[in-house]
């Protein structure tokens, strides 16, 4: 079944998002976000950090020699939607999201390691992920950071405060349980739903309170 049949109205058609997956635990959040955006009609530019690849291999059984697109297809991203996903390594610094002239609807770093958080907070744009975040902030576009560590040190907290002050939304992966999620995927989707909301992307991942 193709994506249009699964999501007949493709509500995010015409929108473009940048999703970075870095080397914090919780790759499932990034994968679910990419799948949901693509299957609801959005174009998705995905940047995978070197450490993010290692965590995907560890947590989601990505094969060491597998491309991200091949992994996403194997994970279950609809064949009719995968052509909307473009992938980049952190080294591809001359790619579209590195420039403010490339217009998109928002960027999310999911999950966001403390290292990448520090680079964003410090304006240290040393790879395609941190440069794209820097550009997204200067262009005043939505930037959603999903920082994963526990507990947080004062350094982590100060970096989050600094990034929030520059316009980023700090959206920690704190799942909710009021929709009675039954599987790990359902739990992850309670977080992905909030990321979609903050990106201004339509979805039907979870019931909303009051529905
Ligand atoms: C399996 C695994 C899990 C990790 N989990 C975290 C984490 O939850 N948070 C974090 O900040 N770093 C975590 N790290 C360490 C980061 O991967 C490391 O700091 C790396 O340099 C981050 O690089 P990146 O931000 O470019 O992806 C983890 C590493 C591995 C191998």
- Please report the DSSP string for 37-59 in residue order: HHHTT-EEEEEE-HHHHHHHHHH
Map out the domains of the chain with their CATH numbers: 3-199 (3.40.50.1950)
With a 6 A CB cut-off, is 53 part of the ligand 1 pocket? Answer: no
Average pLDDT over residues 22-51: 98
With a 6 A CB cut-off, is 113 part of the ligand 1 pocket? Answer: yes
Task: Summarize pLDDT for 158-184 with one digit per residue, the tens.
Answer: 999 999 999 999 999 999 999 999 999
Atom of ligand 1 nearest to the CA of 90: 26
pLDDT at res. 3: 47
With a 6 A CB cut-off, is 149 part of the ligand 1 pocket? Answer: yes
Q: Which alpha helices (H) appear in 140-204, and where do they start and end?
A: 154-165, 184-199
pTM of the model: 0.96
pLDDT at res. 200: 98
Name the residue of 26, 29, 113, 129 whose CB sits within 8 Å of the most ligand 1 atoms, as the mutation to test its pocket. Answer: 113
Q: How far is the CA of 2 from the centre of ligand 1 (A)?
A: 35
């Amino acid at each position: 079944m193709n994506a249009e049949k699964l999501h007949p109205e493709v509500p995010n058609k015409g929108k473009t998002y940048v999703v970075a997956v870095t080397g914090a635990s919780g790759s499932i959040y990034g994968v679910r976000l990419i799948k949901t955006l693509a299957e609801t009609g959005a174009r998705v530019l995905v940047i995978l950090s070197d450490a993010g690849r290692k965590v995907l291999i560890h947590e989601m059984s990505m094969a060491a020699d597998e491309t991200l697109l091949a992994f996403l297809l194997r994970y279950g991203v609809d064949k009719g939607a995968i052509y909307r996903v473009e992938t980049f390594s952190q080294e591809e610094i001359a790619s579209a999201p590195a420039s403010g002239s490339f217009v998109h609807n928002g960027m999310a770093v999911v999950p966001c390691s403390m290292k990448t958080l520090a680079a964003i907070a410090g304006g240290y744009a040393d790879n395609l992920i941190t440069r794209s975040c820097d550009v997204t902030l200067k262009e005043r576009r939505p930037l959603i950071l999903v920082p994963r560590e526990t507990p947080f040190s004062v350094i982590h907290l100060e970096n989050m405060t600094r990034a929030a002050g520059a316009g980023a939304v700090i959206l920690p992966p704190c799942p909710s349980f009021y929709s009675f999620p039954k599987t790990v995927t359902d739990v992850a989707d309670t977080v992905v739903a909030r990321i979609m909301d903050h990106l201004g992307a339509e979805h039907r991942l979870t019931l909303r309170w009051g529905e």
